[in-house]
Structure 1
Amino acid sequence: MAHLIDKRTNDYCFLYAHHTFGRYQYSVDTLVSDPSVSKIHTIIEWVNGKWFIRDLSLNGTWLNNKRLVKDEPKLLCIGDKIYFSGNSETTYVVKNLAAPADQLIRLDEYNKKTTDVISLSHYHLVPEHNPDHVVVFENSSGQWHLESLDDATQDDPEVLQDNHIITLGDSRWMFLSSHIDDVTQMSSVPQLYINDLEFHFNLSLDEEISELTIKYNNKEIDLHARCHHYLTLNLARYRAEDAQRGVTPANQGWVETDRLVKDLGVDMRYLNIQIHRARKQFSEVLTHVHDAENIIERQLRRVRFAGKTFEIYKGHELERTSNVATA
């Protein structure tokens, strides 16, 4: 996420995609307390893959000691110096011009922003090496949610808003969104649905190695061997069993997490991590599939495999095949 540094305070100023500066506290993104500064004085904005600055003020904005032409965009470069009205004590230096991104920004012991950031891209287990939380973007609501791994099936996850502070491990982090509108970009991407996919599981005879391949429209994606594929495979087994018993499609495959813990011989925390690792991989690999993370669908304290068409091979022999009616 692009940012400036306030030379007077050494504070970092992270930029939204459309970022305003001025002295009108409730209408700007960055407050500049100076009587010579206009209510909304300057805008920095992301346009066609680059950052530009525009002056909207009466008294002027200076870039590298040169006054900007009012309302005329000027390209920003690393190292540029920005100050307002000619005599403002506040000077910003451009330090980073990365594209806008939703991010978690680590706070130091004084609760000041640092440049230690996590750029969010749909699905994250955090902290990465020993996760205790999940940060996930919900397409249906357009919001980021924070979930605890102590209850991976919680019914009411925490919604993250700008400047929301959370604790991850031993650190405190602030959530900042990019404020960029992705609707037009997303609508131009061809969308598939979960029911358009075919899932092919390969399981070793000792059930130690699980591989998964996904096929659609004569294409194939190899998700390779992963521990969490064994969870997904077993959820597919539950669904196939329900289909054979004549359970209605909407109710097929739902299994209590307590039962999964017993059947798989793991503890609840390990199960929760595997659920989220599977959902994370689906969301990252199947970016063209609507709600791909919901291939493993969740409700309070129960989960299921949402795939319609799948095959399970064990030791290269077909164990089970299913073409479940659409839910």
Structure 2
Amino acid sequence: GQMGGNDEREQTLNQLLTEMDGFEGNNGVIILAATNRPESLDPALTRPGRFDRRVPVELPDLAGREAILKVHAKKIKASDDVDLHTIARMASGASGAELANIINEAALRAVRSGRTVVNESDLEESIEVVIAGYQKKNAVLSDQEKKVVAYHEIGHALVAALQSHSAPVQKITIIPRTSGALGYTMQVEQGDKYLMTKKELENKIVTFTGGRAAEEIVFGEITTGASNDIEQATKIARAMITRYGMTDEFDMVAMETVTNQYLGGDTSLSCSADTQKEIDEKVVQLVKAEHEKARKILSENREKLDELAMYLYEKETITGDEFMDILDRK
């Protein structure tokens, strides 16, 4: 009630505060409340003495994801080869509900294949369904498009593999998905990472620009396939400058604040228009420099780029191990 009006929200709040104050110490009533918007709560509710304890429920870490998967896996018949630790690693950033969904999706896939037992490949495919959508069976790419997508994905994977501090490649596919992706490269960290160095973030941007760089080198043309990469690379570059203080000019000054932490974490700029212009220029410079790095890496390894792209073009889906075998062959 910003206008000082005594609407029903205020009455509810007042009543709640009265009830919370009015309890005797021994009548055993506990009040629990949950919200996704702690920043918009009335300070009268959040000050000490009202709720004795605050429990922030963050996304589960690696051990948490594995434990949640174990709980849901009890409801299905899983074969002996299922390694939930690997699945938990692949599902980095997934919430409890998404993990439950991954198990359900794997069970459905097993039933569709006429099996009563869920195996490792079902779970891996179901992670991809949750991340990228179902395989689009009716999307038929022309031969040329398929080649472009193969080079694009190998561009990402090769740039990632040839840099230090990069997560290993787990799988590369050029089968279109219902999310609109025509293919994707899946990288999986060995464990959860809570801190990222400047070098690692720059490497991520280089990897994101690798797909477009491969198209430029091989076909001399660029396509619309890199739209998601562009979005991700820009996001990282902007965050490095405005939130992580990774430029000499701005040093450790925050140019951006995060609002609604639990609802998507939107950001709002807190600087003048001139500074904003400078930030935009820096973002462009940073992404350009990393894009150039990706082009250089791929030009120097052109033979491997061609060999891997042709292999992916024929197979449509390859594992990280197959990829590394070809890359390590002299």
Q: TM-score, normalised by structure 2?
A: 0.24
TM-score under structure 1 length normalisation: 0.24
